[in-house]
Structure 1
C-alpha cells in the first residue's frame, strides 16, 4: 500500500464530516485545510483546480485530486481499506448493496434534506409550499432508512461501512436544522446512537474544530426557523 499524502479540504457540514470520519476510521494521516464556505473561499481559482464544482469536501492525495464526497469515500476504501474494516470487497453482493445506499444518499437524502434545511432555516423569504415539500420528502426518506434498519443492523449488511458514514451526518443534522425527533424512527435512532459512540466518529465531527457546540447551533437554528415563519408566506397559486 502506498504512503498516504492526503489533504482534506473541508468545513463542518454533513458532507464534510463524511470524509473526516472515514479518514479517522481508517486511521490515515491527513492534513486539514479549512474552507470557510461563508466567505466563498471554495469559489477561488486555486480551489477550483481541486474541485471544478467549487464545493467541499475534496481531497488531494499526492498528485491525485478527488472531489464529490461519495467518490472520495470509494477512493479511500478502494486504496487504503485493504482489511475491509469499513467496506465490502468489490464484486461481492454486499459491495453493490453498499454502492446502492451511497448513490441513494447522493441523489436523494442529501439534495432533499439540503433543500429542507435551506427553506426552513436559511431562505430570505418564506415559502410554505417549499418547506412542506422538502421536509415531507425528507421524512419519507427517513421512512426508507427505518425500513432498511428494521431488517438489517447497518445499511449495507451486518457491518458498519461507508454506506452508514455517508448518511450519518445528514441524520445528525436533522435534529439541529429541522428539529426532527429520531425517536419517531426507532431503528434509525438505534443505528444513530450506535454510530455516534464510535471514537473515530467523535473525532471526525471535530474536523475542523467547530466554532459552537451542537446545542448552541440548535438554539441558533431554532431562532432562524422562527424568523422565517414570522415572515409573510410568498407562495402565490
Structure 2
C-alpha cells in the first residue's frame, strides 16, 4: 500500500471530477469486476455513451464519495451513488430499450431489479452504482469506509434506504456489516449460455446478489 489511511482525504465527488472518475472507473472497476470479466467487457468503450450518462448522474447527485491520497493527490477510491425514486423502479429496465438491446450485461443486471414493494413507505432511496478501490490500497478497510460515509451522508439528508447489486463476496461482506440484506440472488452459471457469459473466467464469483438496506419500520414489516 502506498501510504496509510491517516493520509487519505474523503470528499464528495462533483461533475468537475468526471474525467478523473471515468479513468479510475475504467482502470480499477471495469477491469476487475467479475460480471464485466465474464462478459469480456472490461473497458469503457464497451459501454459507450450509456456509461458516460450513468457516471454523470452519480456525480450530479451529491452523494458520490471519493478518496484521495493526500501525499500523491491521486484518486484511490470511489463510491458512486445517486438518488432513485421508488416510482421509477419498475420503469428503469423498460424505459431504456436501446441499452438493454445493445448490451447483454445490462440485461443481466435488470434481472436483479428490486420489486416495487421492496421500499414501500419510502419515496426515494440511494442507488449504489459502483464501488472501487485502487488495487494498491486494497485490504485496509477503505471500501468499507467509503460505503459507511455514503450511508451517513444519506442519513443526514433524509435517505435511510439503499440498494446495491454485488458481484463479489468481498463486497457482500462489506454491505452485510452495514445492515444490508439479500433479497434476490442470481447464479451467472444458470444464464451463461443465454447471454454469452464465460464463468470459467471468474471461479468462485458467479453469484450476484441484490442487497437492500431499509428503515427499521420497513425491515420489520410495519
TM-score (norm 1): 0.30
Q: Which has the higher contact order (CA 8 A, sep 6+)?
A: 1
Greater strand fraction, Structure 1 or Structure 2: 2
| Structure whose alpha-carbon radius of gyration is higher | 1
Greater helix fraction, Structure 1 or Structure 2: 1
TM-score (norm 2): 0.32
